[in-house]
Amino acid sequence: MRSYTKGKGTLPSLEIAAQIARAANVSLDWLVNGDTIGFHEGDDGGGYVVNMAEQGNYVAITRIDGVLPAIADGSPEQEELVQIAAFRREWLTRIGVSPIFARFFVVKGDAMAPTLVAGDGLLIDSAVDDVEEQGIYLIRADDRLMLKRIAPRIDGSLQIMSDNPIYPPEVIPASQAADLKIVGQVRWFGRSI
């Protein structure tokens, strides 16, 4: 599904577009027209606005928190929606993050200190599902979400690092690199002072 946002595919069929809308928790109308609020109806008959509520020039971004369940292609089916953060649409476009794939994540732990510390808010581009360049990525390992600095190596392997030196680096062999579950790439962070 993410190949459509990267310009690698033709326009999806109506059936595929409906699957994309369901996976992203947005309405099909929003996916096609981009001008309505995405609304997810809960199992209890209630609903909540997710992902694409617009207030003027701002776009509300859902927050990832907790464990991400997997669907057949390994991508997140639905995050636990805790709260939202708002970003300017024009700014998201300028930094190359599609609002439909933008997620907000709050750092826990000290693995990426001093670069990122507990409580920092991160903008995650969940359209990024593989490692093409060195950067900080949100990955899923078993049932845990982890932030790691990942660098591709010439032999196709990946070097996985924490910025905190007490955590040793790891290398994922080229034969296993495609199995790494990338939730998205960190594109921005902010913190309270």
CB-based contact 79:103 (threshold 8 Å)? yes
**Global pTM?**
0.66
pLDDT of residue 65: 67
CB-based contact 47:38 (threshold 8 Å)? no
Q: What's the pLDDT band for 51 if we cut at 50, 70, 90?
A: very low
Q: Which of 10-14, 50-54, 115-119 shows the highest mean pLDDT?
A: 115-119
Long-range contacts formed by 74-79: CB under 8 A, 24+ apart: 74/181, 75/1, 75/2, 75/23, 75/129, 76/126, 76/183, 77/23, 78/25, 79/103
Nearest to 79 by CA among 28, 25, 38: 25
Percent of the chain with pLDDT over 90: 40
- For the chain, domains (ranges, CATH) are 2-190 (2.10.109.10)
Amino acid (1-letter code) at residue 48: Y
List the beta bridge partners of residue 186. 124
pLDDT tens, position by position, 123-136: 999 999 999 999 99
